[in-house]
Amino acid sequence: AGGGEQSVNEQLIQAKFDYERAVEDLKTCRDDLVAKRRRRDEIKGSGEKKDWARMMKEKDAVEKKLEEMNEKKAATGYNRDR
C-alpha cells in the first residue's frame, strides 16, 4: 500500500466531519419531532418515527465507519495527534 498515511488521515477527517454533521442532523431531527408531538399528534407520529429510525441507522453506520477509520489509522502507525 503506497501513500497510505495521508489518505487515511484525510479519510479520518472526512469521517469525523460526516459524523459531526450526522449528530447535528440527529439533534435537529429530534428537536423537530419533539415540536411536532407538542403541537399535535395529527399523524400519530408514524412518519416521524420512521425518520428517527432511519437517522439512528445512519448514525450507527457513520460511527462504524469512524471506528474502521481509527483502526486503519492505528494499523498504519499514523498517530500524530496523540
Per-residue pLDDT reduced to its tens digit, 65-80: 888 888 888 887 765 5
Task: State the Cα–Cα distance between residues 28 and 39, nearest whole angstrom.
Answer: 16
Per-residue pLDDT reduced to its tens digit, 7-66: 888 888 888 898 889 888 888 888 888 787 777 555 555 555 667 788 888 888 888 888
Domain residue spans of the chain: 4-73
* C-alpha distances in Å from residue 66, one per residue of 1, 10, 12, 40, 55: 20, 12, 7, 37, 16
